[in-house]
Amino acid sequence: MMLRHFMPILTVIGMISPTFVHAEELASPTGRILLTVSGQITETNADGVAQFDLDMLRDLGVEEVQTTTIWTDGPQVFVGVSLDVLMDRVGASGSSIDASAINDYTVQIPLSDAVDGGPIVAFQRNGNVMSRREKGPLWLIYPFDSSADYRTEVIYSRSIWQLDRMAITQ
């Protein structure tokens, strides 16, 4: 069933070229660390890992995804970093991402999911930075409404919330 919905409400707010970002060394986080990326990455700012606070994530270039989810009531506006951009920034070279939540819930996400127009690592919902009680600090949001391909149980299971770690694996 190829009922793709080609009306994604997907707006690029800021567009910063990844190559341009690449040029710089990954800065060290100054605020509370929201995300730690480990494993097969080339860019690090700590002990073999790349750590990001909210500002660093914002600096990667934010993207807005407007979509409904099966866990929320009504249309939601999510703002975050494209997974594609994030993986590019850390120089991920594996095939899979082991994404873990605060409570250690872990899902395996193929690196191939990280595409332009694909999932974002959201830190803001409906204009507010997401608290832990509201599935913060980070929630991997696929643009569910943009394609039926994103409305599958597998994708739902990959939409990990209360995300705080990522490990890039082979």
Partner 1 sequence: MSPSDDHIPPVTRPKFLTGSALVAVIFAVCVGVIAILAQSVVRDLQMLEASKSDNIQWTLSQAEVEFLEFQATLRRSSEPVDLEKVREEFDIFYSRIQTLKNSPIYSGVGEDSVYAISLGSAKTFLDETVDLIDSDDSTLLASLEEIENRASELRISIRTLASSGLIQFAEQSDQQRSNVTVALLRLAAVSALLLGALSLLALYSTAISRLTQQRGAALAEANVRMNTILSTSLDGVIVSDTMGRILDFNAAAERIFQRKLKDVKGLPIGEVIVPPHLRKAHDDGVKRMNEKGITRVVGKGRVRLEAMRADGTIFPTELALQSATSGNTQIIIGFLRDISSRVQAENELLNVRDRALAGEKAKADFLTVMSHEIRTPLNGVLGNLTLLDDTALSDDQRRYVDNMQISGQLLMEHVDTVLDIARFESGKVEMIKEPVHLGNLLQGVVDGQGGAANSNRNMIKWAWVGPEIEWVATDAKRLQQILLNLVSNAIKFTHDGVISVEAQADMVNETCATVLFRVSDTGVGIAPEDLDKVFEDFHTTDATFGRQVGGTGLGLGIARRLVESFEGEFGVDSTVGQGSAFWFRIPLDLTEPPLRVTEETKPAEPARKLEILLVEDNKINQMVAQEMLTNLGHRVRLAEDGQKGVEAALAHRYDVIFMDISMPVMDGLDATRQIRAADAPWSETPIYAVSANVLASEQQRFLAAGMNGFLGKPLIRKSVIAALNEVSVVDPTDLTMRAAHGKDGMIHTMAQMRDELGDTVYDLLKDRFLGEGNALAVWLENGPVDMTEMANRCHRSAGSAAVFGALGFRDELIALEQAAKAKDVTRVASLVPNALAEWAKVEAVVQD
Q: Which is nearer to partner 1, 1 or 7 (CB)?
A: 1
* 131 is a site residue for partner 1 (CB under 8 A): yes
How do beta strands 76-82 and 62-67 pair?
Answer: antiparallel
Amino acid at 67: T
- Rounded least distance, CB 75 to partner 1, Å: 12
Which residues partner with 168 through β-bridges?
A: 39, 97
* 1 is a site residue for partner 1 (CB under 8 A): yes
- Rounded least distance, CB 68 to partner 1, Å: 8
Q: Which helix (H) or strand (E) holds 90?
A: helix 83-90
Going from the C-alpha of 86 to that of each of 7, 13, 145, 153, 156, the distances in angstroms are 24, 16, 22, 24, 20
Residue from 19, 103, 112, 170 in contact with partner 1 (CB under 8 A): 103
Q: How far apart are CA 42 and CA 40, in angstroms?
A: 7
By CB under 8 A, the residues from 23 to 82 that bind partner 1 are 70-73
Q: Which is nearer to partner 1, 67 or 82 (CB)?
A: 67
Question: Which single residue is written with the structure tokens 């490990």?
Answer: 167
Binding site for partner 1 (CB under 8 A): 1, 3, 70-73, 102-103, 131-135, 148, 151-153, 156-157, 161-162
